Amino acid sequence: MKGEDAVVAVSLSRSFGAVKAVKSVNLSIPSGEIYGFLGPNGAGKSSVVRMLTTLLLPTSGSARVAGHDVVTEPTAVRLKIGAALQEAALDDKQTGRELLELQSRLYGLCGPVTNKRIDYLARLLTIEESLDRLIGTYSGGMKRKLDLAVAMIHEPQILFLDEPTTGLDPISRVELWDEVRRVNEEKGVTIFMTTQYLEEADYLAQRVGIISQGRIVAEGSPSELKRSVGTDIIVAKINGQTSGPAENCRQVRGVESVEVSGNEITLSVHQGSKVIGPVAIALDQYGALVEDIVLRTATLDDVFLHYTGARLQVDAGIAIKEVP
Amino acid sequence: MIGSTKVQARNGGFVSDVFAISRRALRSVLRDPESVIPGFIIPLFFFAVNTGALQNFVEASGDFDYKAFQLPVAIIMAVTGPLSRALTLVEDVRSGYFDRLMMTPVRRLALLLGLMVADIALVLALTVPVLVLGYAVGVRFETGLTGIVVFVALAAYWGLGFAGFSYAIALKTANAAAVSSSFMIFLPLMFLTPMFIPLEAMSGWMATVAQYNPVTYLLGSLRSIILVGWEIDEILKGVLSVSAVVAVSLTMALLALTRRVSRQ
């Protein structure tokens, strides 16, 4: 499919009863890209992935994956995609090799090709040692790697990874990031990845789409998105009410926008080092009890806050929720 | 270099799909034998208890081999009940592994049939200890070796029909407790029959109910094969009543499968 993007969605929508989970999502992801789909739980990420991987029909709109329509040509799509969906879905009572062989058989691959693929993937993902052990004995990181291998057994053109590192410890997470990047670089596999982790999208994705309440609210490379909210960020934590002090800050020269989330005031500014002094004075003039004030460069979290009015909160790298 | 072998993904073919799925199911059984051990013990227990308690009493009423009369009950117990792979299916749906299979080009029907093939293999294994025990206590088939084959095949056919209900429940609810409750269907089907004494000797409401219970005719066929010989019409009655059950349960299972894979 020369010239056609690996994933194309046009006004893709999905309702569950009265609930509109996905609202008119448009996507065009070129071949070879790592695309990060960023949003909190319940934002509609998984529904989009389930539609693109032929598990769920759209209510309206359409999508083409690897050049085939997901509604009318599901089998053609299935042959060209691989997917690792949330929480490594494996079978504890099989060995890694047995599960890979089963998967390979379902794609009609013969024994010798299967063995070569297993050898290759085991080396690529460094799981050779555990291949013949029962999956029940694997660590969380190991399972995710096997999950990735299973998704890739038939050499798919496009990989869908739904929250590939949720629940992993930080070391395993970084390790998996490197595997994902290697898969992308070595084989030119297009990767569509959902995540709740900003660092993950920042580290891996060439482009990021931010989804909130079923809608894509911003899209671009991580640096473009960060630039869109200003170069520097000042965050002031206030003990007490925030709207008054926030108003005062808005008057300060160099402050581009002001967002309030919980007891935090977040300011997008130019040349933060020059603005932080006047901001501190403005807060003091109001009589606000400032617990903490920080100047830093923008992160995707700030982007998320800017576009959705809510902050993605990461608690100890595990739980995450949208804070109004 | 490595991994650059030509990989041509395609449909694996229906038979290949079915066997790939059933192989996985059987491997799980072998690695988790605790789940099938009760299935081996319960029928032997019932056989021992039923014959131990009732043999002298029933045989006193006439010329009667009560052990041969009870062997079909044990066989039906062995092939019915908590043994289907329906719980595996529930686990797969819950863990997301079912979705993973759904994203492959596997034929949807193979996901169900593969498990049923595994069930049949298991059911055949479960009939062995019952037959051995029967032989050890002196039960002989009037119909000989061919009779044993027909006997086991008919029992397995019933086992498959009953399993259909648990698959229907598993696919519809994806709930392990609901699947286990298919045992509730088993109780009346098994016990409201001439399980302990011949139909002619039964009376009252239970005799009436038993006349409409397909298991009554299954028992009739199996007993006839052991005790009497080749009574074709007796055997046919059993085959037909089991077929009726198979038709209902497999239709339910297929409808539930269609719904489960409908992408709604």
Residues of A with CB under 8 A from a CB of B: 53-57, 74-75, 78-81, 83, 85-87, 89-91, 93-94, 98, 102-103, 105-109, 113, 116-117, 119-121, 123-124, 134, 150, 154-156, 187
A45, A35 contact by CB (below 8 A): no
Q: Which of A57, A74, A117 sits opposite B3 (nearest CB)?
A: A117
Q: Is the pLDDT reported for residue A6 higher than 90?
A: yes
Does the pLDDT at position A259 exceed 90? no
Phi and psi at A128, nearest 5°, equal: -55, -40
Rounded CA separation B22/B80 (Å): 19
Burial track A117-131 (b if 16+ CB lie within 10 A, e otherwise): bbebbbebbebeebb
A151 → chain B, closest CA residue: B100
Closest in B10, B92, B102 to A107, CB measured: B10
Q: Chain-centre distance of CA B8, in angstroms?
A: 39
Q: Using the beta-carbon criterion (under 8 Å), do A78 and B104 form an inter-chain contact?
A: yes
Q: Report percent pLDDT > 90 for chain A.
A: 52
Question: How many CB pairs below 8 A link A and B?
Answer: 108
DSSP code of residue B35: G
- Picking from B9, B97, B101, the nearest residue to A108 by CB comes out as B9
Amino acid at B182: S
How much is the pLDDT for A323? Answer: 44
Split at pLDDT 50, 70, 90, the class of B130 is very high
Per-position DSSP letters for A49-92, written without gaps between them: HHHHTTSS--SEEEEEETTEETTT-HHHHHHHEEEE-SS----T
Rounded to the nearest angstrom, the minimum Cα separation between A107 and chain B is: 5
Per DSSP, the three-state class of B192 is coil
Of B32, B95, B105, the CB nearest to A106: B105
DSSP state of A95: B
In eight-state DSSP terms, residue B200 is: G
- Residue A239 neighbours by CB distance under 10 Å: 11
User: Residue A1 pLDDT more than 50?
Assistant: no
Domain boundaries, chain B: 14-260
Contact between B27 and A83 using a beta-carbon 8 Å cutoff: no
pLDDT band at A135 (very low <50, low <70, confident <90, very high): very high
Asked which of A58-62, A146-150, A273-277, B101-105 is least confident by mean pLDDT, the reply is: A273-277
Closest in B11, B21, B96 to A87, CB measured: B96
What average pLDDT does the segment A72-88 reach?
91
| pLDDT interval class at B81 (50, 70, 90) | low
Q: Edge-to-edge strand order for the sheet containing A289-297?
A: A255-261, A264-269, A232-239, A289-297
Burial of B95 (0-12, 13-18, 19+ CB in 10 A): middle
- Can you tell me the mean pLDDT for A122-145? 92
pLDDT tier at B2, thresholds 50, 70, 90: very low
Say whether A113 and B92 touch across the interface (CB within 8 A). no
Structure tokens at A277: 């002094």
- Cβ proximity of A93 and B31 under 8 Å: yes
Q: Whole-number mean pLDDT of chain A?
A: 88
Query: What per-residue confidence (pLDDT) applies to A3?
Result: 66
pLDDT digits (tens, 9 = 90+) for A208-250: 999 988 999 999 998 888 888 777 889 999 988 888 898 888 8
| A93 vs B21, B32, B100: nearest CB | B32
Residue B83, min C-alpha distance to chain A (Å): 17
Is CATH 3.40.50.1820 the classification given to domain A226-323? no
Q: What percent of chain B has pLDDT over 70?
A: 97
Mean per-residue pLDDT over chain B, rounded: 90
User: With 80 as the cut, is the pLDDT of residue A185 above it?
Assistant: yes
The nearest CA of chain B is from the CA of A232 a distance in Å of 42
Phi/psi region, residue B244 (left: phi>0; alpha: psi -120 to 50; beta: rest), is alpha
CB contact under 8 A, B20 and A105: yes
- The partner residue sitting opposite A105, judged by closest CB among B12, B99, B103, is B12
Chain B residue with the nearest C-alpha to that of A73: B105
Q: What is the pLDDT of residue B37?
A: 87
Interface test with A, best of B87, B103, B107 (most A CBs within 10 A): B103
Which residues from B are below 8 Å from A69, CB to CB?
none
Strands, DSSP E only, in chain A?
7-16, 19-29, 34-38, 60-65, 68-69, 81-84, 158-162, 190-195, 207-212, 215-220, 232-239, 255-261, 264-269, 289-297, 311-315, 319-323
The whole-number pLDDT of residue B216 equals 94
Q: Looking at A14-23, A278-287, B52-61, which range is the least confident one?
A: B52-61
Does the distance separating the beta carbons of A91 and B92 come in below 8 Å?
A: yes
Give B199-212 pLDDT, tens digit per residue. 888 888 989 999 99
Tell me, what's the pLDDT at B83? 65
Of A85, A93, A155, the CB nearest to B28: A93
pLDDT band, residue B173 (cuts 50/70/90): very high
Residues of A in contact with B109 (CB under 8 A): none
Q: CB A93 to CB B7 under 8 A?
A: no
Name chain B contacts of A117, Cβ cutoff 8 Å.
Answer: 3, 5, 7
Residue to test with chain A: of B28, B98, B263, most A Cβ within 10 A: B263
Question: Given a cut of 90, is residue A86 above it in pLDDT?
Answer: no
Angle at B122 between CA B121 and CA B123, to 5 degrees: 95
| CATH no. for A7-221 | 3.40.50.300
Q: Could you state, in order of their start, the residue ranges of all structural domains in chain A?
A: 7-221, 226-323
pLDDT for the residue numbered A228? 80
Determine the residue of chain B that is closest to A55 in CA distance.
B263
With an 8 Å Cβ cutoff, the interface of chain B facing chain A consists of 2-3, 5-13, 16-17, 20-21, 23-24, 27-28, 31-32, 92, 95-97, 99-106, 263-264
Residue (of B171, B9, B263, B94) closest to A108 by Cα position: B9
pLDDT for residue A313: 57
Task: List CB contacts (< 8 A) between A98 and chain B.
Answer: 24, 27
Task: Express each pLDDT in A9-63 by its tens digit.
Answer: 999 999 999 999 999 999 999 999 999 998 888 889 999 999 999 999 999 999 9
Name every chain B residue with its beta carbon within 8 A of the beta carbon of A81. 103
Q: Nearest Cα to A262, choosing from A311, A191, A205?
A: A311
DSSP string, A5-19: -SEEEEEEEEEETTE
Contact A156 B9 (CB under 8 A): yes
Nearest neighbour of B31 by CB, restricted to A79, A93, A121: A93
CA distance B85 to chain A (A): 14
pLDDT given at position B82: 58
Is B156 a residue whose pLDDT tops 80?
Answer: yes
What is the pTM assigned to this prediction? 0.84
pLDDT grade, residue B195 (50/70/90)? Answer: confident
pLDDT-based confidence at residue A100 (cuts at 50, 70, 90): very high
* Residues whose CB falls within 8 Å of the CB of residue B55, separated by 6 or more in sequence, listed in order: B66, B67
* Per-residue model confidence (pLDDT) at position A215: 92
Residue A17, class by beta-carbon neighbours within 10 Å (0-12 exposed, 13-18 middle, 19+ buried)?
exposed
Q: Which residues of B touch A89 (CB under 8 A)?
A: 95-97, 99-100
pLDDT tens-digit series, residues B84-96:
789 999 999 999 9
Q: Is the pLDDT of residue B118 over 60?
A: yes
